[in-house]
Amino acid sequence: MSKLILPSYLDQNEAVKDRFERMKKRPVTLQVKSLYKEFATPQGKVVALKDINFETYKREFVCVIGPSGCGKSTLIRILAGLETPTSGEVLLDGTAVTDPGPDRGMVFQGYTLFPWLTVKKNVMFGLEMSGHGNKNSEEQALQWIDLVGLSKFANAYPHQLSGGMKQRVAIARALANQPRILLMDEPFGALDAQTRAKMQNYLHEIWKNIDVTILFITHDLDEAIYLADRVLVLKAHPGEVQEVIEVSVPQPRSPEQLLSPEFLATKRRLEELIHPPEEEVGINEDKMNMVRMVDVDNEVESVF
Amino acid sequence: MFSKLFAVRKKLDSKQRVYFSILSFLVPMIIWSLISYVPYIWHPKVEVTDVGDVVYFSKGMLIDREAFDKEVEVASAAEKKLPQGFPANPVYLPAPHEVATALYSAFMTEPRRKNEKWLHESLWDSIQVIFWGFVISSIFGVPLGILAGTYDVFSRLFEPFVEFFRYLPAPAFGALAVAILGIHEAPKIAIIFIGTFFQQVLVVSNTTRKLDPALLEAAMTLGAKRLTLLFRVVIPGIVTHLFKDLRILLGWAWTYLIVAELIGTSSGITWFITQQARYKNFDNVYAAIIIIGIIGFTTDIVLAHIGRKIFPWEKGTAKA
């Protein structure tokens, strides 16, 4: 990165500082206490997560970011109850999490809509599971579908929708259960850049209007800063919390802020954490051995 | 043109696809017609039209061409009357038009004996044997397969034995089936059952295992548990593939039919075929075989069509 003069990522203006102070007075939704996860592999034990501690406040938007292999996905799967930690505990509103349940909605990276159900029936699925009647579920489902702007497609099947639309339905489906927390595992990872930007704005709109805490996993630095109140930075081998960054970019967010000094300062900090300055040993092994493979008399002598 | 026709895994345009589908039936028909109608392609026999002075010839007799030529040589050397004849195929290869007429006349031919069955009655017997064998197999095989594909307990409990049993050839149980179930329909149904059931359990459990686990996880985060997972996610998730599996297995059931019908008292279409072969009505034999093909093929097309109707979400996934 060029030597732009940027403020410290820790500098917060009055409004931002005030907001964080108020946020921290809210009740804690999710609490993760000294969480460890080890996997047994043929090469021996691998520590995927080591001593993870953090908490999220009510209606907070937290992003988890880290290099590949830092155990982001393992972490969110443990929070969802899809995997069990080796030790430590996860508390949701003070109650320990052991199994998957409708109090924690989850949106996956891949498309997990049920292909045999229409959009409406997909959204109704969770409501029916929690014992709502057919009519009641349908009414609620239609409201959620309307919220994500897909009323026209209520009776369409998933294969008729675009990737972005599928993820919007997945969000509606998770929210229909009115979960305490919405867990999102790189939900926009498979989308093209434009759709992705649109989805980020949708998600923020939804978050503003609904009583839900969001924990969002991504490997995209811009996405993390743009969406989050706080960013939880993990490091790999073993997966540990490196830093919890309070994003100093004021809320509500808009695309113009992507070039604001606070944004760039935060991004520079994240880059330092995630792609640390190269160490001398071993790193060069990863370089390509480039040899000039162009004929001397090639029509285009140089691409520059 | 040429490179487009042989592009790896690229679909031909719809016109070409129809054209080649027709060709796939046309080519065997043309080969059959060539062998039947062009005199010197194959035709290893001579049909005698005039016996001449050869003592053992009779009119309409089929004789090997070499033997016929030898007799002609002998007769001409002895300056006797020469036998006449034209090239012909063996009796077991009737010409297409003969089989085509047999397709109709076989239904109209009265059985030689009073207690014997008409072709349509034999066919109906066969269809019933297939139907019951397949239905009984599916009633047990499909649920066991789904259980084995869903729960590891059942997978370990059923699959090793099933895996072993499927190598035992179904016809080997013929004598046993007759001893236990008598000589009529029951042992035949049992053979179809044995031939289908064990494959069915394995095929269905495999299909069940192919369900994307992410769908199950998504359902669990939405509050689905235990049996709801099975009935609301696993079963609807595999039902389209299950339907395709059953279509393929039904084809296998037909292959066991012929063996099954030879067990005990021979019956059904197999009885008709063996009987007609005994009378050397090979045109009827071919007609009967073709009818089996037509029934099987039509059932499959009808089932495929029904599948498209009852699984409206299939259209997208089928193409991919």
Q: Tens digit of pLDDT for each residue in A85-144?
A: 898 889 898 888 888 988 999 999 888 999 999 999 999 999 999 888 888 899 999 999
Confidence at residue B160, expressed as pLDDT on a 0 to 100 scale:
94
Quick check: A126 and B222 CB within 8 A?
yes
Confidence at residue B53, expressed as pLDDT on a 0 to 100 scale:
84
Confidence at residue B318, expressed as pLDDT on a 0 to 100 scale:
43
Quick check: B224 and A129 CB within 8 A?
yes
Average confidence (pLDDT) over B250-259: 88
From the list A116, A177, A183, which residue is nearest B223 (CB)? A177
B279 band by pLDDT with thresholds 50, 70 and 90: confident
The more confident residue out of A9 and B201 is: B201
Quick check: A114 and B237 CB within 8 A?
yes
Q: Which residues contact B282 (CB under 8 A, 6 or more apart)?
A: B91, B92, B93, B94, B276
Boundaries of every domain in chain B: 2-37, 45-88, 106-319
The stretches in chain A having pLDDT less than 50 are none
From the list A81, A99, A116, which residue is nearest B236 (CB)? A116
Quick check: B232 and A125 CB within 8 A?
yes
pTM for this one? 0.83
Boundaries of every domain in chain A: 1-103+179-304, 113-178
Architecture of domain A1-103+179-304: 3-Layer(aba) Sandwich (3.40)
Q: Please list, residue by residue across A156-188, b when 16 or more beta carbons sit within 10 angstroms of its beta carbon and e when fewer do.
A: bbbbebeebbbbbbbbbbbbbbbbbbbbbbbbb
Quick check: A100 and B214 CB within 8 A?
no
**Contacts A129 to B, Cβ<8 Å:** 222-224, 228
Q: Which of A199, A196, A203, A214 is nearest to A64 (CA)?
A: A214
From the list A82, A102, A116, which residue is nearest B222 (CB)? A102
Mutation target to probe the B interface, by most B beta carbons within 10 A, among A127, A159, A166, A180 is: A159
Architecture of domain B106-319: Orthogonal Bundle (1.10)
Task: Give Cα separations from A215 to A17, A73, A187, A202, B58 (angstroms).
Answer: 21, 12, 11, 16, 96
Phi and psi at residue A214, to the nearest 5°: -120, 130
Confidence at residue A72, expressed as pLDDT on a 0 to 100 scale:
87
Quick check: A159 and B313 CB within 8 A?
yes
| A200 touches A226 (CB < 8 A) | yes
Confidence at residue A286, expressed as pLDDT on a 0 to 100 scale:
65
Confidence at residue B320, expressed as pLDDT on a 0 to 100 scale:
35
The more confident residue out of B241 and B52 is: B241
Is B81 a residue whose pLDDT tops 50?
A: yes
Average confidence (pLDDT) over B172-200: 91
| A84 touches A36 (CB < 8 A) | no
pLDDT digits (tens, 9 = 90+) for B18-46: 999 999 999 999 999 999 998 888 889 98
**Dist CA A65 CA A266 (whole Å):** 13
pLDDT digits (tens, 9 = 90+) for A49-66: 888 899 999 999 999 998
Confidence at residue A290, expressed as pLDDT on a 0 to 100 scale:
80
**Dist CA A33 CA A31 (whole Å):** 6
Mutation target to probe the A interface, by most A beta carbons within 10 A, among B220, B222, B243 is: B222
Three-state SS letters, chain A: CCCCCCCCCCCCCHHHHHHHHHHHCCCEEEEEEEEEEEEEECCEEEEEEEEEEEEEECCCEEEEECCCCCCHHHHHHHHHCCCCCCEEEEEECCEECCCCCCCEEEECCCCCCCCCCCHHHHHHHHHHHCCCCHHHHHHHHHHHHHHCCCHHHCCCCHHHCCHHHHHHHHHHHHHHCCCCEEEEECCCCCCCHHHHHHHHHHHHHHHHHCCCEEEEECCCHHHHHHHCCEEEEEECCCEEEEEEEECCCCCCCCHHHHHCHHHHHHHHHHHHHHCCCCCCCCHHHHCCCCCCCCCCCCCCCCCC
- Amino acid in position A301: E
Share of chain A above pLDDT 90, in %: 31
State which of A6-15, B106-115, B298-307 shows the largest mean pLDDT: B298-307
Q: Kindly report the average pLDDT of chain B as a whole number.
A: 89
B249 band by pLDDT with thresholds 50, 70 and 90: very high
Quick check: B237 and A157 CB within 8 A?
no
Confidence at residue A251, expressed as pLDDT on a 0 to 100 scale:
82
Question: In chain B, which residues touch A (CB < 8 A)?
Answer: 212, 214-215, 217-224, 228, 232-233, 236-237, 239-240, 311-313, 315-317
Closest residue, chain B, to A179 (C-alpha): B222
Confidence at residue A158, expressed as pLDDT on a 0 to 100 scale:
93
Quick check: A125 and B221 CB within 8 A?
no
Confidence at residue A283, expressed as pLDDT on a 0 to 100 scale:
52
B63's enclosing H/E stretch is strand B62-64
In the beta sheet, which residues pair with residue B88?
A: B45
Cis bond before residue A238 (omega within 30° of 0): yes
Number of A–B residue contacts, CB under 8 Å: 78
**Contacts A102 to B, Cβ<8 Å:** 221-223
Confidence at residue B238, expressed as pLDDT on a 0 to 100 scale:
94
Question: In chain A, which residues touch B (CB < 8 A)?
Answer: 80-82, 99-102, 104-106, 108, 110, 112, 114-117, 125-126, 129-130, 157-160, 170, 173-174, 177, 183
